[in-house]
Amino acid sequence: MLHDLDAEQIPRHVAIIMDGNGRWAKARGKPRLFGHKAGAAMVRETIASAIDLDIKYLTIYSFSTENWTRPEDEVSGIMALFVEVLSRELQNLQEQNVRVRIIGDLAPLPEKTRAAFENCVSETSCNTGLTLIVAVNYGARADIVHAVQAIAHEVQDGALQPADVSPEIFAAHLSTAGIPDPDLLIRTSGELRVSNFLLYEIAYTEIVVTDTLWPDFDHDEFFACVAEYQARARRYGGV
């Protein structure tokens, strides 16, 4: 598959809405958490694929600000799963030179889960390879509102003039500050919506939706999405 791709047109930043764990489990007569476990296991392969392809930034949507509305046992199961996966994968991330960044608010997470994420970020902070951005308790609207509040404070303090607020200044106040906008957004499991993910950053991102459920999204599926991206003509409003 790899040789079918154009090495000159590899997306620098790929963002993924990892959807379909529940349906994958349901199809097997299993509880939803069984699907989340299978989905979490697939992330290791996704990271390996991104490294193979020389992608520089990979953002994965792992828990949204709206996912708290799910049944209590599913939420607590996911929170425990984060702890398990982060401790299991840390060594692998180090070996692969992956730097982990978080977008989203960790404060409302259970203490152990928050600590596991913070540990992973600090332990990998000197790595220089792939940047893995994990969106956890992330919602683009909350992130945008947070940026507006921060800018309002700076204006109030006289550090910034209202007329100086530009798209670039605004982007610098989002949790994705310093990260280039995604070139490719992949959503698995066929839903044609963005579900409050990176609303500001995806203005000119190419979107690929696959019917494959997240736990089945392997190397070949990833490469096929990149191939579809490479067949697109990006125009940015031009001709």
Positions annotated as catalytic residues are 19, 67
Q: Which tokens go with 84? A: 């398990």
Alpha helices by DSSP H, listed for the chain, are 21-26, 32-52, 72-95, 111-123, 140-156, 167-171, 219-230
Candidate list 15, 19, 25, 139; residue touching Mg ion; CB under 5 A? 19
- The binder of ligand IPE chosen from 20, 104, 139, 182 (CB under 6 A): 20
Using the contact rule CB under 6 A, the part of the chain among 18-26, 99-107, 158-166, 199-207 near ligand IPE is: 18-26
Shortest gap between Cβ of 7 and ligand IPE (angstroms)? 30
For the CB of residue 84, give the shortest distance to ligand IPE in the complex, in Å.
15
Q: Which residues contact 65 (CB under 8 A, 6 or more apart)?
A: 104, 137, 138, 139, 141, 142, 196
At closest approach, how far in Å is the CB of 31 from Mg ion?
15
Number of residues engaging ligand IPE in binding (CB under 6 A): 17
The amino acid occupying position 4 is D
**Tokens, residue 114:** 């928050």
The only residue of 12, 129, 154, 195 in contact with ligand IPE, by rule CB under 6 A? 195
The interface partner of residue 96, options being ligand IPE, Mg ion, none and the CB cut-off 5 to 8 Å by kind, is: none
Query: What distance in Å separates the CA atoms of residue 180 and residue 183, rounded to the nearest whole number?
Result: 9
Q: Closest Cα partner for 46 from 62, 58, 31? A: 58
**Could you say which residues in the range 21-50 bind ligand IPE, by CB under 6 A?**
21-23
Q: Beta strands 131-138 and 57-64: pairing type?
A: parallel
Which of 191, 231, 232, 234 touches ligand IPE by CB under 6 A? 191
State yes or no: residue 89 binds Mg ion (CB under 5 A): no
Say which entry of Mg ion, ligand IPE, none residue 219 contacts (CB below 5 to 8 A, set by partner kind).
Answer: none
User: Between residues 31 and 129, which has the closer beta carbon with respect to ligand IPE?
Assistant: 31
Give the nearer residue to Mg ion in terms of CB position, either 23 or 44.
23
Q: Report the site for ligand IPE in 72-111 (rule: CB under 6 A).
A: 78
- Find the Cα–Cα–Cα–Cα dihedral 191, 194, 196, 201, rounded to 10°: 160
Nearest to 45 by CA among 23, 28, 60: 60
Angle of helix 32-52 versus helix 219-230 axis, rounded to 10: 60
Would you tell me which residues interact with ligand IPE (CB under 6 A)?
A: 17-23, 61-64, 67, 78, 189, 191, 193, 195
Would you tell me which residues interact with Mg ion (CB under 5 A)?
A: 19
